[in-house]
Amino acid sequence: MRKMMSAAAAFATAATAVVAMGGAAQAAPADDSWDGCPYGAVCIYGQGVVPADNPHPTDVYYSYGAHNLSNQLGKHWVLNNQYGGASMSLCQGYNGTDCGTPIAEGYGVNADLTPINSITLNRP
């Protein structure tokens, strides 16, 4: 009888823990996306697209370092929705070479990407 009681108590404790964890897991994090650009990312939008009117970036980058671009011609909005002081740079060379002035988190630029061959996500 004692084994049944301790087994029932263990089951009840485990069930309570699962319910408690399930409730916490269902809590949605704050949505800090910016015109469709996820929090922590740098996003490029299609040529001529205004992000507020069409919040669907064509390219989304999360990892620090250089990212080579291809087929990005004309004016595009590039949003830096990173956090913690991370910046991004537009670079004329591949692999993050010949970069312009870093763009701080929370800022975006409407840039001609024709001469741009890579972007870098820079650690703070």
- From the list 82, 89, 87, the residue with the least C-alpha distance to 111 is 89
- From the list 115, 106, 31, 32, the residue with the least C-alpha distance to 76 is 115
- Could you give the domains of the chain? 41-122 (2.60.20.10)
- 2-19 pLDDT, tens digit each: 443 344 444 444 444 433
pTM: 0.75
- 63-105 pLDDT, tens digit each: 999 999 999 999 999 999 999 999 999 999 999 999 999 999 9
